[in-house]
């Protein structure tokens, strides 16, 4: 278990039980399991088993809950449980502690329930109107483009006044801020990239776009895309790989890649079926192993080359993975950690 996570939980327990630090000891049992031993005075020490759930995302909590049969009185600990994670914990009747002070303990001789602090910034982050331009600006900032109108307007092909209005809303939400320069004047900086990522990901993944699907019997969809499909897409127009296929190249996590997803530009509209057939693919209405989406604003501008392919930004890959659910959520979090996305 990460040392900081275990130490934070131990401090919470120390305050709850009102015992001095020297009466608490901790030992590791497994990679994500620690035991806190508390000398409460008379009688044998009280032992609490801590089950690590990382940042507190639903997929991390599910993994911790899977350990409960082996540790029936286990306490799930995390940085900050999401709303969905808390629902999972409550449904399982589990005990939990997080870094915000959200505590739910129902153990022999000990019942504690406190609410943690709200996520920050809570100011206006939820009031952002996530239109196509706002999503594009958010993606650019997460790709470490400076929040400057002169940079963003030509990159995203949006007029300067529209970009300026979006950045002002981002200022109010706490995503960006204007800071004074030492030589005078002001410049804008990205202030809270992780908060921006959390607010941006779901609207980005939910952007409506025209989709084409195709299939082909093949044991390795990524290899086939690389050798047969990508060259055809390059001739038909600009494209960028996303989802599990892109994540496998940037931050491998999933055992297999079952479906390829790629963003394509408007030129693909006119030649889509012909292009797919030239790539050896058969168009289908649903269940395709190759999915092509018309790229929303900014996606292809922010794509970058990797060897012989073009990949969407890490933020876009993260959003598409997280929206897919299941183990793709785990792959999204792995990608975020490995690439330092939102830091």
Domains, the chain, with CATH or none: 3-114 (3.40.1350), 125-195 (1.10.10.10), 211-339 (no CATH)
pLDDT tens digits along 40-69:
666 677 788 888 888 787 878 888 899 888
Q: What is the pLDDT of residue 223?
A: 94
Residue-wise pLDDT tens digits, 171-193: 998 899 988 887 777 889 998 89
Q: Decide: helix, strand or coil at residue 125.
A: helix
Instruction: State the virtual CA torsion across 150, 298, 123, 203 in degrees, nearest 10.
Output: 170
Place of tokens 């008379």: 42
CA distance 145 to 155: 10
Two tokens at 290? 């190759």
Q: Which whole-number Å values give the CA distances from 237 to 233, 267, 269, 280, 290, in the listed order?
A: 6, 6, 10, 17, 17
- Which of 5-14, 134-143, 251-260, 301-310 has maximum average pLDDT? 134-143
Say what the pLDDT of residue 175 is.
92
Return the minimum-mean-pLDDT range out of 47-51, 109-113, 118-122: 118-122
Q: Furthest-apart CA pair in the chain: how many Å?
A: 80
d(CA 11, CA 142): 34
Q: Distance between CA 168 and CA 252 in Å, rounded?
A: 37
C-alpha distances (whole Å) from 186 to each of 55, 149, 163, 175 are 35, 13, 17, 17
pLDDT above 50: residue 125: no
Q: Give the per-residue pLDDT at 46.
A: 75
117, 30 contact by CB (below 8 A): no
| Cross-strand bridge partners of residue 51 | 33, 76
């Amino acid at each position: 278990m990460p040392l900081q996570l275990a130490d934070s939980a131990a401090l919470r327990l120390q305050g709850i039980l009102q015992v001095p630090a020297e009466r608490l000891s901790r030992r590791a049992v497994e990679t994500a399991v620690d035991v806190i031993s508390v000398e409460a005075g008379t009688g044998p020490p009280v032992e609490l088993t801590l089950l690590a759930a990382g940042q507190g995302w639903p997929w991390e909590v599910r993994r911790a809950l899977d350990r409960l049969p082996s540790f029936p009185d286990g306490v799930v600990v995390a940085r900050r449980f999401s709303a969905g994670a808390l629902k999972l914990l409550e449904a399982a009747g589990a005990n939990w502690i997080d870094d915000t002070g959200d505590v739910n303990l129902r153990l022999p001789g000990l019942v504690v329930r406190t609410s943690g602090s709200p996520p920050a910034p809570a100011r206006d982050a939820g009031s952002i109107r996530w239109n196509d331009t706002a999503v594009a600006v958010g993606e650019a900032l997460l790709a470490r483009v400076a929040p400057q109108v002169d940079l963003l307007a030509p990159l995203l092909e949006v007029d300067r006044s529209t970009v300026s209005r979006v950045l002002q809303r981002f200022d109010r939400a706490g995503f960006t801020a204007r800071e004074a320069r030492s030589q005078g004047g002001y410049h804008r900086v990205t202030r809270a990239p992780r908060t921006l990522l959390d607010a941006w990901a779901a609207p980005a993944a939910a952007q409506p776009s025209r989709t084409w699907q195709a299939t082909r019997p093949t044991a390795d969809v990524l290899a086939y895309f690389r050798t047969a499909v990508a060259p055809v897409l390059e001739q038909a127009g600009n494209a960028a790989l996303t989802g599990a296929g892109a994540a496998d190249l940037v931050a491998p996590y999933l055992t297999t890649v079952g479906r390829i997803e790629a963003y394509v530009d408007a030129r693909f509209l006119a030649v889509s079926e012909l292009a797919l057939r030239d790539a050896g693919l058969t168009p289908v209405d649903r269940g395709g192993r190759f999915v092509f989406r018309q790229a929303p604003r900014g996606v292809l501008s922010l794509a970058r080359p990797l060897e012989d392919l073009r990949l969407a930004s890490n933020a876009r890959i993260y959003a598409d993975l997280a929206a897919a659910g299941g183990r793709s959520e785990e792959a999204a979090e792995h990608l975020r950690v490995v690439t330092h996305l939102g830091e």
